[in-house]
Amino acid sequence: MKKILYSLILISALGLQTKVDARPYDTAKVEQILAQAHALYKDDKNGANADYIPALAEVDSELFAIALVTTDGKIFTQGDIDTRFSIQSISKVFTLALAMEQKGAEAIRDKIGVNATGLPFNSVAAIELNEARSVNPLVNAGAMATVSLINGDTGEQKWQAISAWYAQFATAKLGVLEDIYRSESGSNGHNLAIAELLKSYGRFYGDVDINLDIYTRQCSVGVTTKDLALMASVLANGGTHPISGAHLMSADNVQRVLAVMTTAGLYETSGEWAYTVGLPAKSGVGGGIIAIMPGKFAIAAFSPRLDGAGNSVRAQKAIDYIADKAKANIFAHLD
């Protein structure tokens, strides 16, 4: 009985009201869970900053922030919430969303692919081994090909469309972190090689240099953890922004984006993440991760030290903790 009561408190704490328990969630309880997650993992020193983009190695490794946005528009934050960091691969989710809205879900499946690679995010081998070549929109190859699909006659038009799109998700204009952009542009040979290889297979849909530059800019967009949670909240809310009310995506497309996040969001450990946490998520080598509980809430967490696959150690642990306390898992049996 005690256990059931405890579960009900936690479920209501994060807005997971069931038919039996329709009370509004307890704001103090949500705040407490976020504070606990922060306190539990703030001293975890495992992992290391990404350093293949030199400017990422310079970011303070101790930074740690968590934000949660509910589908009814409540925002909860904890830690270094005002720090801006580069969105990196998390941008891939939102450019995919734009490409899907513009070109349709079938085009994404046909022109990019939607399978997991099982290989690192910038793997050239994955392109050679898979017939779809670009494999999926959340690894570098597929993400750059997705940028090449975005409408626009010039690079500048495309970039304006992408940055205006991100701004609608974040409910704020987001700038590019110039030091990250310069650093990444100066060490981009591997991505250039991937884009050229795709082009040679007829799986890149525009000029390589222009689209690679847009991809690099989108990865260098600066966000706070709260911005990220706000962006992710649209995916938790079926395509309508819980704060602005803007209708940004069709519910069908949200569903498909969440599916790709589930199979490919955490690089080659996406399977383990689905197995243990069970929430569609996407991480970036800047140290951010977003995770979605459809219909309920979105979480974002940030801390720069990464594990071997490229996922923030503390962010993974914090999200795992919060999801567990909230009993949030898309694979869970609903009773």
Give me the least distance between CB of 191 and ligand GLU, in Å please.
Answer: 5
Q: Which of 94, 121, 169, 302 binds ligand GLU (CB under 6 A)?
A: 121
Q: Cβ(82)–Cβ(215) under 8 Å? A: no
From the list 36, 61, 115, 122, which residue makes contact with ligand GLU (rule: CB under 6 A)? 122
User: Hey, CA dihedral for 64, 272, 53, 113, is it positive or negative?
Assistant: negative
The verdict on 218 binding ligand GLU (CB under 6 A) reads no
Closest contact distance (angstroms) between CB of 178 and ligand GLU is 15
Q: How far is the CB of 234 from ligand GLU (least distance, A)?
A: 20
Residue 283 makes CB contacts below 8 A (sequence gap 6+) with 89, 90, 265, 266, 267, 289, 310, 311, 312, 315, 316
Kindly write out the interface string for residues 155-184 of this chain, putting x where it contacts ligand GLU by CB under 6 A and - elsewhere: -----------------------------x
**By 3-state DSSP, what share of the chain in percent is helix, strand and coil, each rounded to 5?**
50, 10, 40
The C-alpha torsion from 93 through 95 and 101 to 103, rounded to 10°, is -120
Taking the CA atoms of residue 32, residue 273, residue 87 and residue 173 in that order, the dihedral angle to the nearest 10 degrees is: -60
φ, ψ for residue 80, nearest 5 deg: -80, 65
* Span 88-107, contacts to ligand GLU by CB under 6 A: 88-89
Least distance between ligand GLU and beta carbon 88 (Å): 3
Which residue in the shown chain puts its C-beta closest to ligand GLU? 89
Shortest Å distance, C-beta 122 to ligand GLU:
5
Check residue 237 for interaction with ligand GLU (CB under 6 A): no
CB of 189 to ligand GLU, least distance (A): 11
Phi, psi (rounded to 5 degrees) for 298: -125, 145
Q: Confirm or reject binding of residue 310 to ligand GLU (CB under 6 A).
A: yes
> At a CB cut-off of 8 Å and minimum separation 6, what does 153 contact?
none
Taking the least distance from each CB to ligand GLU, the nearer of 13 and 97 is 97
Residues 37-96 that bind ligand GLU (CB under 6 A): 88-89
Q: Which of 113, 284, 294, 304 binds ligand GLU (CB under 6 A)?
A: 284
How far apart are the C-alpha atoms of 152 and 145, rounded to whole Å? Answer: 14
* Footprint of ligand GLU (CB under 6 A): 88-89, 121-122, 140, 184, 191, 219, 284-285, 310
